[in-house]
């Protein structure tokens, strides 16, 4: 049923009538079945840094003279202490991760995040960052990704 509507809108848009063009461009038909993202989810995805799913690894470029933070959602609470992260450079060498007892909190894209670890590397290099939830402590209904951001990046 969606195909005839889309086809009719496309044909109507070809007639040269300005009103039909408006109708054609304003018609939205979703056939993917994928859930629509909320405004909050879209803002969260656009926050600073690199988002990395738990259990995956992604490349991260280290800006010049930057200290990098690995952050987790504050709502994970004590469950975040079960995360094990690694940072490797292009030669496969592990970077040292530093942590402190006081977890720095900040707001990023409307959510509260805590800094779990920091690391530094040669400027303008690419490292690979990955984290695992070793004890499956993160609740299933929570977002399952961390952020890697340069320290001092504007979180808004």
The partner residues of 62 in beta bridges, in order of sequence, read 125
Compute φ and ψ for 150, nearest 5 degrees. -70, 140
The partner residues of 87 in beta bridges, in order of sequence, read 129
pLDDT digits (tens, 9 = 90+) for 92-140: 999 999 986 668 888 888 889 999 999 988 888 899 999 999 888 987 7
Which of 124, 154, 117 minimizes the C-alpha distance to 62? Answer: 124
pLDDT digits (tens, 9 = 90+) for 68-84: 999 999 999 889 988 99
**Domains of the chain by start residue, with CATH:** 1-35 (no CATH), 39-150 (2.60.120)
Its pTM stands at: 0.66
């Amino acid at each position: 049923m969606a195909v005839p509507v889309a086809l009719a809108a496309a044909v109507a848009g070809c007639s040269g009538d300005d009103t039909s063009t408006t109708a054609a461009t304003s018609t939205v038909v979703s056939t993917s079945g994928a859930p629509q993202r909320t405004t909050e989810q879209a803002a969260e995805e656009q926050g600073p840094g690199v988002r990395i799913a738990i259990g995956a690894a992604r490349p991260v470029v280290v800006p010049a003279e930057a200290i990098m933070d690995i952050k987790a959602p504050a709502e994970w609470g004590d469950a975040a202490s079960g995360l094990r992260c690694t940072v490797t450079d292009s030669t496969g060498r592990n970077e040292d991760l530093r942590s402190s007892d006081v977890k720095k909190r900040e707001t990023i894209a409307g959510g509260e995040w805590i800094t779990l670890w920091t690391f530094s590397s040669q400027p303008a290099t690419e490292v690979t960052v990955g984290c695992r939830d070793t004890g499956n402590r993160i609740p299933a209904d929570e977002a399952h990704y961390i952020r890697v951001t340069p320290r001092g990046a504007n979180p808004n």
